[in-house]
Amino acid sequence: EADIYQTPRYLVIGTGKKITLECSQTMGHDKMYWYQQDPGMELHLIHYSYGVNSTEKGDLSSESTVSRIRTEHFPLTLESARPSHTSQYLCASNEFSGRLNEQFFGPGTRLTVL
Amino acid sequence: AQTVTQSQPEMSVQEAETVTLSCTYDTSESDYYLFWYKQPPSRQMILVIRQEAYKQQNATENRFSVNFQKAAKSFSLKISDSQLGDAAMYFCAYGGGSNYKLTFGKGTLLTVNP
């Protein structure tokens, strides 16, 4: 299995709470991604980073924010959680290796906002 | 923009039989990679097989093989001798050129019947 970790694996919180989903990888990859996976299992890219101090919004608009202060760490923050944020969040990473851009995925965080 | 289409939301197969999952994509690029990922229930997404577009030979990984038709922009996955552990959501993904991001299809849920 790939060395990419996400914590917590499961989180149930109340509306209005601030939360941070953690993602870290030990592979030295410079590129990292956050996906939101809806109940139908479709993946939506919400944030990505191509290196330290570089973050971009993905294809799906999200109220979450991300930061990339260290290569191995790419946390996602929701300032005020709402029930509409209930979803599974997947973190992934890859590196430039020739032109191969296979992504490695973490186990995911399943978030429920009550 | 690239698109990936998986036309089969669900498929089922009998144990030990063969099943083929379909994937088509649209791109104007000539150099790209294609992937099949597997996401078992409540488990991590893992890479099943990859195909470089410049290679004419179809990729194989043990019981998994692809039928890559570049002109038709088709990339199907064949699973031979299906096993109960093959039950999962399967995603087809496209990665092109210097864009490190992947474009995913909506997925095909595979059920393996004993």
| A39: confidence class by pLDDT, cuts 50, 70, 90 | confident
Residue A40 confidence (pLDDT): 82
pLDDT < 50: residue spans in chain B: none
- What is the distance in angstroms between the Cα of A75 and the nearest Cα belonging to chain B? 18
Q: Does residue A39 belong to the interface with chain B, where contact is any CB pair within 8 Å?
A: no
**Are residues B44 and A45, on separate chains, in Cβ contact within 8 Å?**
no
Contacting residues of B for A90, CB less than 8 Å apart:
45
Residue A87 confidence (pLDDT): 95
Task: Please provide the size of chain B in residues.
Answer: 114
Q: What are phi and psi of B31, to 5 degrees?
A: -120, 115
**Are residues B44 and A48, on separate chains, in Cβ contact within 8 Å?**
no
A44 DSSP β-pair partners: A36
Of A1, A43, A99, the CB nearest to B104: A43
* CA-based end-to-end distance of chain B: 41
Q: Give per-residue pLDDT as tens, A55-108.
A: 999 988 889 999 999 999 999 999 999 999 999 999 999 876 655 678 999 999
Residue A102 confidence (pLDDT): 84
Q: Say if residue A1's pLDDT is above 60.
A: no
Task: Look up tokens 């150099």; give the residue.
Answer: B31
